[in-house]
Amino acid sequence: MGAHFRNVDGMLMPSLLESFSTTYVEAMATSVPILTSDLDFAHSSCGDVASYFDPFDTKSIKNSIVEFRDNTDLRFDLAKAGAIRVISKENTWDDIANIVINEVKRISVTG
């Protein structure tokens, strides 16, 4: 995937449902700016380092693509911010274990 991402100007992902996809992380890790659906799962993965559009509205998608095409600063800023975000979000195995343990504790208390 790295070779693929190095040969693109951006990633358009009009997804309607994601449980978890590494596509966002791979794009950020290779400094590829992201255009994606304005839905909770995308915001959770991308935060403020993506350009969002309404995936049910073709005008919204078109406007997002045109803005991306015409705005060099936007492309640069999203690529840079994405690369920074992916580094800052890295978890160690201890971090992941603690997240799982805390979630199990939460579920056992509330369940």
Model pLDDT for residues 61-83, shown as the tens digit of each residue:
999 999 999 999 999 999 999 99
Q: What is the pLDDT of residue 90?
A: 66
* For range 29-43, the mean pLDDT: 93
| Residue located via tokens 């040969």 | 7
Q: State the chain's mean pLDDT as an integer.
A: 87
Class of the 2-110 domain? Answer: alpha beta
Contacts 24+ apart (CB under 8 A), 41-44: 41/15, 41/17, 42/13, 42/15, 42/18
Highest mean pLDDT among 19-23, 27-31, 58-62, 91-95: 58-62
**Tokens 């049910």 label which residue?**
56
pTM of the complete model beyond 0.85: no
Could you tell me the residue ranges of all domains in the chain?
A: 2-110
How many separate helices (H) and strands (E) can be counted in the chain?
A: 6, 3
